[in-house]
Structure 1
Amino acid sequence: MQPEEAAGEVVIVGAGLAGLATALGLHRKGVRSMVLESSPALRVSGFAFTAWKNAFRALDALGVGDKIRKQHLQAHALRIMSSTTGKMAEEVDLAVQGKGRDSLLQALVEELPRGTIRYSSKIVSIEEGGQGTILQLADGSVLRAKVLIGCDGINSVVARWLGLAKPSDSGRVAARGLAHFPGGHGFEPKFLQFIGRGFRSGMRPCNETDIYWFFTWTPTENDKGVPNSASKMKQFILTNLRSLKVPPDALSVIERSEMNDDVLAVPLRFRSPLSLVTAYICKGNVCVTGDALHPMTPDLAQGGCSALEDAVVLARCLGKAILLEESGRRGGTEKQGIEAGLSEYAGLRRWRSIELITTAYAVGFIQQSSNVIISFLREKFLSGFLARRLLKMAEYDCGTLWS
């Protein structure tokens, strides 16, 4: 084993959206951090990121909101189409921007001090130590951290160490893609959704040339072998959408889309909201954020937005605690100050996380259901309620780094 290496005040595991935003928030507060990323470079794979109002409040708090606004298209409305009748079930006004996940990560990295991210650094074990948490890395090196923040996604090593419940399978699967129209797609800046009959699909413009889309379903014995090639997956999706009275221009988006043969479809998982009622979101000097804390189904498009909320709240609470300790104004030990800051963060994020997970699951279940009674209620009453509920979740204000 290599000799132990002292880390900075804060070690963040994962250079995804949650990790980079947390690092930037702490940097704005004057607190140094080290971000450990298991990959050899920044992972910018993925499709689109939907930035609702709550996300831009967080981005503004981090000082990058205006930078993001200038780059990407704003959607003006959410239009929900019934797959049963082929008619519009609901349309609501909104202000939401679509952007590439890669450009958002790059924007955050550009604001961080050089050397903040340490690549090819995979954690294999975590141990409690007298003066901090001891991290054993895959390359044999050992780090001691005063604070450890797990931003390492749904399969989080840090969440497992804290004892958080293993994410559950929702029974649903999602396929995603990106269609490119070099001459312009001509679609209105609206978020279009098709719901019902056991499927849920949607698409929205990211800019003038690219459209992001998704398709979710509950797999049966008959289609378990479908997602083994991009061509078969496309045909499966198109066959189902054609049976749902989806207009031809929407089908054309799927037909000309790019799909990754390595990730054609993924199971939709979530952490039981009941498990978070009494769970340890933080323990001592360790906590989790983003998908490591509240993995949810994507039916609210709030995964990335809520990760940004986490980052601002955590940076505010932890940064305040560390700065008070450094100035000698808090009293007590440094360890007690850090634990108090993390405890404050956990108290603020616990019920927000529970609400997000529960609402996302309920929205997806109701919108996708083929049950006759649920379908009737959805067509007559629930579509508008669910759309308004989605917008209400986006009204959340995480505050600033100083409030």
Structure 2
Amino acid sequence: MEVVEDIVIAGAGLAGLATALGLHRKGVRSLVLESSATLRASGYAFTTWTNAFRALDALGVGDKIREHHLRYERLVAFSASTGEAAATVSLKMQGKSGPHEIRCVKRNFLLDTLENELPEGSIRYSSKIVAIEEEGNVKVLHMADGSIIRANVLVGCDGVNSVVAKWLGLPKPILSGRSATRGLAEYPEGHGFGPEMLQFIGQGFRSGVLPCSDTSVYWNYTWYPSPADGDAEESVAKMRQHVLAKLGATKKIPAEALDVIERSEMSEVVSSPLRFRSPLALVRGSISRGNVCVAGDALHPMTPELGQGGCAALEDGVVLARCLGEAFVGPGNDGGYACVTAALEKFAGERRWRAIRLVTAAYVVGFVQQSNNVAIKFLREKFLSGLLAKLMVDMADYDCGKL
């Protein structure tokens, strides 16, 4: 079977669905190809910062997300060594682009919300691209099921192992040396946590406890794996005990935070290595070429310390839909190769340095938060924790604009 599509988006994650919805809002049709059989909600939840809500508002779904998720009033970073609050940052302040707004959003809820706003048939599941060829200006996509799709525009939102990024010549993401595991706990009668983000940093790990709603709490844990960890990554039970043992050994983590982990649901993929795109690769590499570009994790995989991976993906979707929509809508814009190329170059120019800043800042924050170096540990507990917390807020004080 062989079909022709104007715009094909590889990947139905945050970037892919945001791009498709943004194009739909502008009256432009696209087809999203998702390799799995359903939407993938791995990771359970993600911190949705101010910049992400501006993107969600631009897409017309911000209020639907707000209805079901708590708004945070403060961020509290605790030292895992002393148990003391090393920094407390108010999240009710005004930023340069308006008031801050931070919530922890369930990933499946957000993906479902974005999908439900799209026309029926916009997403084709169990559709994996295995090879990309060129015939003139058309990209010929060979699918795992043997079918062929001819695309006049190809957008790669296909994650950290992106086929499209590889075709563009972007180097593979770099292993950071850290791994992450996550979970979600449900409290039908209420959990009792306040409207705050809790972080526990130092002792070679970083952990966060973040209420999503009155009845659900998300947690994450990142660390440097070592041979001493043994077979912790073999099963959910072993990973849970590994995390509880590491956190409990400090004797400084509150019992209610440990309870979240004990009662939580965890993924069968109990942990994953953290990768990031080298900032130098983003300076030199091709984000777009002709009628092909990448967005989301395919463009800027980053470590999670800023909580900006998903937020930046939503920004990408709005900016890309705006730029690409202009190539199809308006006087003299016929969706031709020249219009599309100019639109994708504009997108790349707008997103390149934003991505470089986020990737670099996330790596630096993670290194400082988890380092066991004596000097860094001293500075972190005396001075740096507050600066790092404020950096997280500052990096979210960004507006990607309207469609």
TM-score, normalisation: structure 1: 0.95
Which of 242, 247, 267 is residue 248 of structure 2 equivalent to? 242
SS in 1 for 2:233: coil
Contact 1:227 1:233 in 2 (8 A): yes
Which of 17, 29, 32 is residue 32 of structure 1 equivalent to? 29
Deviation of 1:37 after TM superposition, in Å, equals 1.1
Which of 359, 362, 366 is residue 368 of structure 2 equivalent to? 366
Which of 89, 93, 97 is residue 90 of structure 2 equivalent to? 93
SS in 2 for 1:227: helix
Deviation of 1:303 after TM superposition, in Å, equals 0.8
Contact 1:13 1:151 in 2 (8 A): yes
Whole-angstrom distance in 2 between the partners of 1:172 and 1:102: 25
Whole-angstrom distance in 1 between the partners of 2:127 and 2:243: 38
Q: Who is 1:348 aligned against?
A: 350
**Correspondences of 1:113-192 after superposition (within 5 Å):** 113-192=119-198
Q: Who is 1:397 aligned against?
A: 399
Q: Who is 2:3 aligned against?
A: 5
Residue type of the partner of 1:306?
A
Q: Who is 2:96 aligned against?
A: none
Whole-angstrom distance in 1 between the partners of 2:63 and 2:158: 27
Deviation of 1:45 after TM superposition, in Å, equals 4.0
SS in 2 for 1:49: strand
**Residue 307 (str. 1) matches residue 327 (str. 2):** no
Deviation of 1:61 after TM superposition, in Å, equals 0.6
Whole-angstrom distance in 1 between the partners of 2:379 and 2:200: 16
Q: Who is 2:64 aligned against?
A: 67
Whole-angstrom distance in 1 between the partners of 2:74 and 2:346: 36
Which of 328, 332, 342 is residue 328 of structure 1 equivalent to? 332
Contact 2:43 2:183 in 1 (8 A): no
Contact 2:191 2:215 in 1 (8 A): yes
Report % sequence identity.
61
Whole-angstrom distance in 1 between the partners of 2:253 and 2:333: 63
Q: Who is 1:375 aligned against?
A: 377
Deviation of 1:329 after TM superposition, in Å, equals 5.9
Contact 1:46 1:102 in 2 (8 A): no
Deviation of 1:295 after TM superposition, in Å, equals 0.2
Q: Which stretches in structure 1 are left out of the alignment for 5+ residues?
A: none
Deviation of 1:63 after TM superposition, in Å, equals 0.8
Whole-angstrom distance in 1 between the partners of 2:296 and 2:40: 16
Contact 1:20 1:109 in 2 (8 A): yes
SS in 2 for 1:42: coil
Residue type of the partner of 1:348?
E
Q: Who is 1:55 aligned against?
A: 52
Contact 1:19 1:151 in 2 (8 A): yes
Q: Who is 1:82 aligned against?
A: 79
Q: Deviations over 1:192-217 (max 9, x none)?
A: 00101111111110111111111111
Which of 249, 258, 273 is residue 265 of structure 2 equivalent to? 258
Residue type of the partner of 1:105?
L
Contact 1:11 1:33 in 2 (8 A): yes
Whole-angstrom distance in 1 between the partners of 2:89 and 2:337: 48
Whole-angstrom distance in 2 between the partners of 1:19 and 1:374: 39
Deviation of 1:133 after TM superposition, in Å, equals 0.9
Residue type of the partner of 2:49?
W
Contact 2:231 2:238 in 1 (8 A): no
Whole-angstrom distance in 1 between the partners of 2:348 and 2:265: 40
Which of 296, 302, 316 is residue 302 of structure 2 equivalent to? 296
SS in 1 for 2:73: strand
Q: Who is 1:19 aligned against?
A: 16
Deviation of 1:44 after TM superposition, in Å, equals 3.2
Q: Who is 2:387 aligned against?
A: 385
Deviation of 1:173 after TM superposition, in Å, equals 1.0
Q: Who is 1:318 aligned against?
A: 324
Contact 2:43 2:182 in 1 (8 A): no
Deviation of 1:275 after TM superposition, in Å, equals 0.9
Larger CA deviation: 21-30 vs 92-101: 92-101
Whole-angstrom distance in 2 between the partners of 1:400 and 1:298: 26
SS in 1 for 2:120: coil
Deviation of 1:243 after TM superposition, in Å, equals 2.3
Deviation of 1:264 after TM superposition, in Å, equals 0.9
Q: Who is 2:95 aligned against?
A: none
Deviation of 1:59 after TM superposition, in Å, equals 0.5
TM-score, normalisation: structure 2: 0.95
Whole-angstrom distance in 1 between the partners of 2:130 and 2:323: 28
Contact 2:51 2:398 in 1 (8 A): yes
Whole-angstrom distance in 1 between the partners of 2:50 and 2:236: 34
Q: Deviations over 1:336-377 (max 9, x none)?
A: 111000000000000000001000000011001110000011
Residue type of the partner of 1:129?
E
- Corresponding pairs, count: 393
Residue type of the partner of 1:253?
V
Whole-angstrom distance in 2 between the partners of 1:329 and 1:74: 41
Whole-angstrom distance in 2 between the partners of 1:39 and 1:218: 30
